[in-house]
Structure 1
Amino acid sequence: MTTMTKLPLHRLAHGRTGDKGNRSNISVIAWHPALWDLLVEQVTEAAVAAAFAHRRPSAVRRFLLPGLQAMNFVLDEVLDGGVNDSLNLDSHGKALSYLLLDLPIDVPEALLPHLVGR
């Protein structure tokens, strides 16, 4: 039996974010190639939709970039109408990556040496 440790996503990956209108892009990039398969398995469209349920995205799409050990999520209608329409500065795309990077990930003991911030 493999021993698992639950850790926030930011220990396994970093992120880049942007926004356009009422759509947010959030990229997740593995800190180490050995973590890629685990990220693909656990950082799914469903997991991201659940993390952002309070923002009520109309759609969440994931695009995999395995050569870069990265993935990009596009969340539609998640920015309170967009940067120019919203009175809520925290809803801007750049702030939303921090919410995703707090997603809990089950990490097998064998992958712990590849994490950031040990």
Structure 2
Amino acid sequence: MSDAPLRVYDLAHCRAGDKGNTSNVSVILYDDADWEFLREVLTEERVRQAYRHVAKGPVKRYEIRNLKAFNFVIQNALGGGVTISLAQDIHGKSLSNIMLAIQLPARSQGGQA
């Protein structure tokens, strides 16, 4: 077994979208067997910490159990929104890369990080 850290991209892929100044990042698991583990460790707080340098608002997680996916709604994350932001990535499409890079605890540690 590798000593490399486990990250979201090891278990899932992502898709980012936008609405005004809100970003939503969907996390879709590759394997249904990872659902409970990711459900336990990929918390709103862990995601909020990962986005703290770009998001100024709360994070809400929605579970889509039948698709083995999550949708994270991240408020105040797009520099004011598409029509007023001067950011290079005004739609926030690259924000899914932050989600994919989140380091997770080892499975033997469960949700304790």
State the TM-score, normalizing by the size of structure 1: 0.82
Q: Which residue of 1 aligns with 2:32?
A: 33
CA contact (8 A) 1:4 1:108 kept: no
Q: Which residue of 2 aligns with 1:76?
A: 75
Q: What residue identity is the alignment partner of 2:52?
A: A
Higher helix share: 1
- 1:86 lines up with 2:85 in the alignment: yes
Q: Give the percent of matched residue pairs that are identical in Structure 1 and Structure 2.
A: 41
Q: What residue identity is the alignment partner of 1:10?
A: Y
Unaligned runs of 5+ in 2: 109-113
Unaligned runs of 5+ in 1: 110-118
The CA RMSD measured in Å over matched residues stands at: 1.9
Q: What residue identity is the alignment partner of 2:25?
A: I
Q: Which residue of 2 aligns with 1:43?
A: 42
In structure 2, the residue corresponding to 1:35 is in which secondary structure?
Answer: helix
Q: Which residue of 2 aligns with 1:97?
A: 96
Alignment: residue pair count = 107
Q: What residue identity is the alignment partner of 2:20?
A: G
Between the aligned partners of 2:94 and 2:4, the Cα distance in structure 1 is: 27
Between the aligned partners of 1:77 and 1:37, the Cα distance in structure 2 is: 29
Q: Which residue of 1 aligns with 2:111?
A: none
Question: How do 1:103-118 and structure 2 match up within 5 A?
Answer: 103-108=102-107
